[in-house]
Amino acid sequence: MRPVTRPYQGISNHVLPAKSECPLNKYLTEYDWDEDQLNSKRLELLQQTNDTNWSSDGVVIIDDTFTYKTGERIPNVGKFYDHTVRGYIWGQNLIYALYADEKTTCPLGFRLYEKDAQ
């Protein structure tokens, strides 16, 4: 068996055979689709399998993370205090919710924090 050195490339070759991000970007920006409807369907499908359905012992985790940016024209970019570096960073703040129990962890949803103009 040969080692897999670029697993994401292998997956993307099956999902998007093109060699660039253009087809995915075009789909996400030019076609009419409802991200909330897609996420609801995804969560519904997870409930149909014993490996991924939720239990009464599960918990919902809400957390955030930063994406570092350099540009100033990027939507919702701003100055945020990042406790992991003990200082301010320039970036975006992504808030997400996860479900977790002993058998599975899955994302429930996420939102980009909309920072007020200062």
Question: Are the beta carbons of 59 and 100 closer than 8 angstroms?
Answer: yes
Q: Strand, coil or helix: what is 57? A: coil
Domain-by-domain residue ranges, the chain? 7-46, 54-118
> Taking a C-beta distance cutoff of 8 angstroms, is the pair 95, 76 a contact?
no
Give the span between the Cα atoms of 54 and 105, in whole angstroms.
9
Q: How would you write the pLDDT of the chain (118 residues) with one tens digit per residue?
A: 444 444 445 555 555 555 666 777 877 788 888 889 999 999 999 999 998 999 999 999 999 999 999 998 998 999 999 999 999 999 999 999 999 999 999 999 999 999 775 5
pTM for the model? 0.65
